[in-house]
Structure 1
Amino acid sequence: MRIVIVGAGQAAASMAARLRHKGHAGEITMIGAEPVAPYQRPPLSKAYLLGQMGLDRLTLRVPDWWHDQRITLRLGEAATAIDPARREVVTDKGRIGYDALALATGAQARRLPAAMGGDLPGVHVIRTLADVDALAPQMQAGRRLIVIGGGYIGLEAAAVARKLNLDVTVIEAAPRILGRVAAAETADMIRALHRAHGVQILEGTGISHITGTDHATGVALTDGRDLPADLIVTGIGVLPETTLAQTAGLMLDNGIATDALGRTSDPAIWAAGDCASFPWAEGRLRLESVGNAIDMAEAVADNILGANQPYHPKPWFWSDQFDAKLQIAGLGVGHDRIVTRPGDGQHGGSVWYFRDSRLIAVDALNDARAYMIGKRLIEAGRSPDPDAVASAPDLKALLA
């Protein structure tokens, strides 16, 4: 069986490795538009941008591994179409036949419209190696950086910039930072952390446009203020990369829609990672995380080989900002109660999410113990009493 994987990120690499590990002896071909071998994305906005991690440590496998595993990497080659009838992927360099096709196309960074100055030189996004290679030389001490968007990517970039002694302002249009992804209590801890390091955070603040003609010079706010800047980073989320799927006539629903096995509306085509949505609870879910990219890709690999096992996600995430680590287990969507516990240090603690008295998620800032205990409880389907979480002298007692 010839298996073709479109994409060359974490999900694609994990899927290819799993296929070989599970004994697939046929052809495996990975098609990636970027000219570099599969690499980790999370360090891009952290250690790599800071200059603490080189490309050799960023890549997921040593070069010889791909050859030894007989996995063909077609890098710097863009997939432009899928021909489902002929079971071929069309690229800018030719056609590649498949028996099973897996789409691990990931996501692309949202950009401000050109009418708002989003395409001006000096306006950056953080998604690919090329994005960060373009941004890093501009991160010079004393320069003024405006970060548009108070999500994890924007806040991570802000933290790196402050470490490099830039003057940093974060602008968030919503009433608070992390509004879509975390409780207000978690946002309060992260806000305090940034302000303690000298980051100015403007919440509930709209943007009219980016100023400048040949180069970005600042941001005009909807309240009439103009903020000067030497460079701008937009961290306003991502969009699942669905172009190939759409033109091939595959069903879309917040990404490429798959069934519980990871199969798309075409029985020969599968999808995994940031680009894919799958059945969850009473609806559908699409997760943007390394954990899901690995777990779903491995599940899909097994199912391509006939395992026929539904994918059950075990969500976990993390974010490094300054010298603090935020670790998240579960999904806090639809929570109706929050319980907080203080941490040991000035910037730390944990936030426990409950829905109908059931523990569904934990955010832990500089509190690895709370994270690990919360994660074990969630994955075991166990829910301690919320009052017990708040008052327990030792969280380990919750596991008893």
Structure 2
Amino acid sequence: MERIVVVGGSLAAVHAIEALRDGAFTGEIVLVGAERHLPYDRPPLSKEALRGEPMPSPLRDPEWYAEAGIRLELGTAARALDTDARVVILEDDRAISYDGLVIATGAAPRRLSAGNDHVHFLRTVDDAAVLRERLHSAKHVAVIGGGFIGLEVAATVTELGLRSTVVEVAPVPLARDLGDDVGSWLAEFHREHGVELVTGRLAVDVEPVADRYRVWLGDGSAVVADLVVAAVGARPEVDWLRSSGLGIADGVLCDRTLRASAPDVVAAGDVMRWYHPLFDESIRVEHWKNAVDQGRHAAAVLLGSDEPFAPVPYFWSDQFGASLRFVGRAHAADDVQILDRAADRLVVGYGRQGAQIGALCVNAARELAHHRSAILSRAPLSV
């Protein structure tokens, strides 16, 4: 290979580039990114960035790219991919040919059914900068969506001394991801810290009212706030691939090695789903460590590796000083056991067909290694 193109200014992209150079690839590497910024970390956007701390710094400084001989094409998104001609077409109609391609375009916030013009979404450093400025004049923030990002934003603005209201369609937050028991514990935890939760009701529209905003709910009631943030999940950035012929189904479909359905094309990070042999299912993971590890693994595959990508997934979230850590999977669990529960501590195990597949540890990080080993060995879930 003489030229490898990496599409997406993401965490996965940076680690793919680093692994390519570590793997002795001496050819040309082109990084294509829709944002004008060098790739940066996104987890701080819902926490430190909103609190007024410095915005995330680039993952690598400009000198690193120069020394590694990386050609940067930032501020112009990819518009299409021709896998027959091996060409990436940019929004300005320029075409960049490739011998190998890494797709790492990440995910974008899901939109509401209506009222999007009156809400803030939080995905980029520019989004965070605008939202942080608006928080200076706000007293009450409505957050639509009780997932991890929504709860982190609610916790952050509450710690800033603002009133926060979370609107969640499920009876409790994160029920679909982690189960009703975990959702109930998190709901009580957030209420104790001052967050208002409006659950079991769908946000159907947002409209301006004088200098405030009314969030209309499905039962006809409403929440009125100075600022509205929507955090209702993310969708993989695959629109630019619709005519490429690649297999796509809630992400770029890849095999167990991270190869996509075209020669010399791999994918990494939030944009893709792959077959995971440990869990015997096709999964998509939107978390920091997965992006790092997949970026490096995808690069190795382009350079000749045929190893499957099969780690135990891991992610974390920090809310009101509580450290939430999760290993494995909770999807399709047929056995959920509360292993330890207190006002400030929670340990939950997830099993499927007699074997442990996941564990949530809140303020119990020392137990993670034990549960990870149990998942790898397919040990039975037990108290």
Report the alpha carbon displacement of residue 355 of structure 1 after superposing the two structures with TM. Answer: 2.0
Unaligned runs of 5+ in 1: 390-400
Identify the residue that residue 154 of structure 1 maps to in structure 2: 150
Q: Which residue of 1 aligns with 2:174?
A: 178
In 2, Cα distance between equivalents of 1:269 and 1:385 = 38
TM-score by length of 2: 0.94
- Deviation for aligned residue 1:282: 4.7
Deviations 1:20-77 (A, max 9, x none): 1111111111100101111111111111222234333xx2122211111222222112
Which deviations, in whole Å up to 9, do the C-alpha atoms of 1:98-145 show, x marking residues without a partner? 1011111111101113xx21122xx11111111111111112376111
Q: CA deviation at 1:382?
A: 4.9
* Alignment correspondent of 2:222: 226
The aligned counterpart of 2:304 is 306
Q: 2:165, 2:197 within 8 Å by CA — same for their partners in 1?
A: yes
State the partner residue of 1:73. Answer: 72
- Specify whether residues 214 and 101 from structure 1 end up closer, same or farther in structure 2 by C-alpha distance, changes over 3 A only: farther
Tell me if structure 1 keeps the 8 A contact 2:312–2:372: no
CA contact (8 A) 1:210 1:216 kept: no
SS of residue matched to 2:337: strand
- Within 2, Cα distance between the matches of 1:140 and 1:201? 23
Structure 1 position 378 matched with structure 2 position 379: no
The 5 Å alignment of 1:3-22 reads 3-22=4-23
Q: CA deviation at 1:206?
A: 2.0
1:196–1:295 distance in 2 versus 1, CA, 3 Å: same
Partner of 2:295: 297
CA distance in 2, matches of 1:216, 1:112: 19
* Residue of structure 2 in register with 1:364 after alignment: 361
1:44 paired residue number:
45
Structure 2 counterparts to residues 91-170 of structure 1, below 5 A:
91-93=90-92, 94-113=94-113, 116-120=114-118, 123-140=119-136, 143-170=139-166
For residue 350 of structure 1, what is the amino acid of its counterpart?
A: V
Name which of structure 1's ranges 278-287 and 233-242 shifts more when overlaid on structure 2. 278-287
Alignment equivalent of 2:320, drawn from 316, 322, 325: 322
Residue 11 (structure 1) shift: 0.8
Residue 26 (str. 1) matches residue 27 (str. 2): yes
How big is the alpha-carbon RMSD for the aligned residues of Structure 1 and Structure 2? 1.9
Given residue 303 of structure 1, which amino acid in structure 2 is its aligned partner? V
2:86 matched residue in structure 1: 87
8 A contact 2:355–2:375 mirrored in 1: no
Deviations 1:275-316 (A, max 9, x none): 111123554211111122122221111110011112213201
Q: 1:340–1:103: structure 2 CA closer, same or farther, 3 Å change rule? A: same
C-alpha distance in structure 2 between counterparts of 1:18 and 1:111, whole Å: 34
Query: Which letter does structure 1 place at the counterpart of 2:99?
Result: D
Q: How many aligned positions are there?
A: 379
Assess if the C-alpha contact under 8 Å between 1:149 and 1:173 holds in 2.
Answer: yes
Q: Distance in 2 between matches of 1:182 and 1:364?
A: 12
- TM-score (structure 1 length as normaliser): 0.90
Following TM superposition, by how much is the alpha carbon of 1:361 offset from its aligned partner in structure 2, in angstroms? Answer: 0.7
Secondary structure of the residue that 1:67 maps to in structure 2?
helix
| Equivalent AA in structure 2 for residue 89 of structure 1 | V
CA contact (8 A) 2:312 2:328 kept: yes
Give the residue type in structure 2 aligned to 1:292.
Answer: N
Which shows bigger deviation, 252-261 or 164-173? 252-261
**Equivalence for 1:398:** none
Cα distance in structure 1, aligned partners of 2:222 and 2:378: 51
> Which of 279, 283, 286 lines up with 2:284 in the alignment?
286
Q: Which runs of no fewer than 5 residues in structure 2 stay unpaired?
A: none
In structure 1, give the amino acid aligned to 2:234. Answer: V
Q: 1:51 to 1:262 in 2, by over 3 A?
A: same
8 Å contact from structure 1 (residues 189, 348) kept in 2: no
Contact 1:174 1:203 in 2 (8 A): yes
CA contact (8 A) 2:357 2:378 kept: no
Counterpart residue identity of residue 253, structure 1: A
**Cα distance in 1, alignment partners of residues 381 and 108 from structure 2:** 41
CA contact (8 A) 2:257 2:308 kept: yes
Deviation at 1:188, TM superposition (A): 2.3
Residue 214 of structure 1: how far off its partner (Å): 8.4
1:141–1:164 CA contact under 8 A, matched in 2: no
- State the one-letter code of the partner of 1:274: D
Q: Is the 8 A contact 1:296 1:313 kept in 2?
A: no
Q: Which residue in the other structure is 1:237 paired with? A: 233
2: CA distance, partners of 1:214 / 1:74: 43
Q: Deviations over 1:219-270 (max 9, x none)?
A: 1122222221111011100111111221222111221111222222211322
- What one-letter code is carried by the residue in structure 2 that aligns with 1:252? I
- Per the TM alignment, residue 385 of structure 1 is displaced from its structure 2 partner at its CA by 5.4
Residue 33 of structure 2 contacts residue 73 of structure 2 at CA under 8 Å; is this kept in 1? yes
Give every structure 1 segment of 4 or more consecutive aligned residues whose post-TM-superposition deviation is greater than 6 Å: none
Note if 1:348 corresponds to 2:349.
no
- What is the alpha-carbon distance in structure 1 between the residues aligned to residue 288 and residue 210 of structure 2? 37
Aligned counterpart, 1:210? 206
* Paired-residue identity, %: 37
8 Å CA contact retained: 1:139, 1:164? no
Structure 1 residue 346 displacement after superposition: 3.2
Partner-residue secondary structure (3-state), 2:336: strand
* Aligned residue number for residue 336 of structure 1: 334
Give the C-alpha shift of residue 328 in structure 1: 0.2
Q: Secondary structure at the match of 1:247?
A: coil
8 Å CA contact retained: 2:165, 2:196: yes
